[in-house]
Amino acid sequence: MSTNDIRFPVDRSIDFIGLGRLCIDLNANEIHRPMEETMTFTKYVGGSPANITIALARLGMRTAFIGRIANDQHGRFIANYLDRQHIDTSNVITDYSGSVTGLAFTEIKSPAECSIMMYRDHAADLLLEPADIQEELISKTKSLLISGTALAKSPSREAVFRAIELARKHGAVIIFDIDYRPYSWQSDDEKSVYCKLVAEQSDIIFGGREEFDLMEDNKQDYSGKDDATASYWLAKNAKLVLIKRGGDGSTAYTRGGEAIRGRTFPANVVKTFGAGDSFAGAFIYSLLQGWPIERCQLYGSAAASIVVASHSCSDAMPTIEQIEQVLRDNKENGAVAYDGT
């Protein structure tokens, strides 16, 4: 059984803080058809860091969020939803500059063919400023999640580096979810520079194979190669690098030289988006419990199988009992159900 070398500070009143994108998902109700023929959508809170924070709150963790929301109906919907999830919103700031809430319309043609149409012009979350970051809040947390989309524009990117500075000062574990969204960036060079700067200061890095390739110099011999990629970042500050390959599972790499391969669970797939966020939420929850990496992988994969079978992302984030049920249902296929001890 692998060891979990991530050491979270003790005696903190908050387990996890998410920072970055708060938006609205509008998921197509008429699935198995193109968006041109879709007439109705259901509204959910969206944004990868928001989804991950909601996932941890649903699993009983004490969570908070740092971000900006627009002074509009969607912004108030987001704030009310986070409050109902018992997420600390004391550092969620309403922006009065005339910004808008980012929108994501989803198209679900088939379980394997899903797409997202984003509206991000003058989005409130990218107007987060360094002065917005509350040091007192960060001093109370065990971990801080940075989402790559928060690096796409100023002043949000400067706010990210201020948050990282404070997290390092107070010993919080820094988690970087690369979360690459091409429509957010001006150029590949810009994206590579800022993502690298954050990755070099992070304790844990999550990303898909393609996201690591985009962050890395393709001239280097580690690009496209999981073992070499992990070794490169583990030689920096990272203690854990997790490379996701969608339906093929994921591999977690540790400084001890271990490569722990995750598995996937069967599901009646409705859509593919949201799987990575639910995986990350349950995986981080498991790390916070001090569990072995194999167990973290199982929890993450079980959570992902639940969310891909649902129409929503945020609303579908599972409870501990739901995850345990997936493990029990698949015990004969090698999964192990845990009692939480």
Cα separation, 236 vs 200, in Å, equals 6
Looking up tokens 């970055």 gives 20
How many CA within 13 A on the CB side of residue 215? 28
Share above pLDDT 70 across residues of the chain, in percent, rounded to a whole number: 94
**pLDDT confidence of 274, banded at 50, 70, 90?**
confident
Report the C-alpha gap between 283 and 251 in whole angstroms. Answer: 12
Instruction: Kindly list the domain boundaries of the chain, sorted by start residue.
Output: 16-21+48-101+125-333
Specify the pLDDT at position 333: 63
pTM, two decimal places:
0.94
What are the distances in angstroms from CA 297 to CA 53, 241, 265, 266, 331? Answer: 18, 13, 11, 15, 15
CB 214 within 8 A of CB 180: yes
CA distances from 84 to 46, 56, 59 (A): 15, 14, 14
CATH code for the part of the protein at 16-21+48-101+125-333: 3.40.1190.20
150-159, 238-247, 284-293: the lowest-pLDDT one? 238-247
Radius of gyration of the chain (CA): 19
Which H/E stretch holds residue 90? strand 88-95
User: Mean pLDDT across the chain, nearest whole number?
Assistant: 91
Tens of pLDDT, residues 166-222: 999 999 999 999 998 887 888 888 888 999 999 999 999 999 988 998 887 655 566
Q: What is the pLDDT of residue 340?
A: 41
